[in-house]
């Protein structure tokens, strides 16, 4: 739950997305309207916040908040 809260804060604080729009099923591009530049910034924020490295090919697979949560949880357990 903590990871989801941190992701929500990043989306609200850095990208100005309404907290009510941030749901686990929300697609970053389709539902939240994030463009490629914002997405790159978001991935960098995830890397800094969670102290992990997200390769480009992995970043392309993260389309929903839930996918990001699951990915980050796995990276934090097995860096």
Q: Is 56 a catalytic residue?
A: no
pLDDT digits (tens, 9 = 90+) for 30-49: 999 999 999 999 999 999 99
Q: Which residue among 13, 31, 35, 56 is the active-site one?
A: 35
Give 24's pLDDT tier (boundaries 50, 70, 90): very high
Structural domains for the chain: 2-77 (1.10.1200.10)
27-43 residues labelled b (16+ CB within 10 A) or e (exposed): ebeebbebeeebbeebb
What does the DSSP assignment read for 2-22?
HHHHHHHHHHHHHH---GGG-
Mean pLDDT over 1-19 rounds to 93
**Beta strand extents in the chain (DSSP E only):** none
pLDDT at 57 over 70: yes
Provide the pLDDT for residue 31.
Answer: 96
């Amino acid at each position: 739950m903590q990871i989801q809260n941190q992701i929500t804060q990043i989306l609200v604080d850095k990208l100005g997305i309404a907290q009510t729009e941030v749901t686990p099923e929300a697609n970053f591009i389709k539902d939240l309207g994030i463009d490629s530049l914002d997405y790159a910034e978001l991935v960098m924020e995830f890397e800094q916040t969670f102290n992990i490295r997200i390769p480009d090919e992995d970043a392309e697979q993260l389309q929903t908040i839930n996918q990001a949560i699951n990915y980050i949880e796995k990276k934090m357990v097995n860096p």
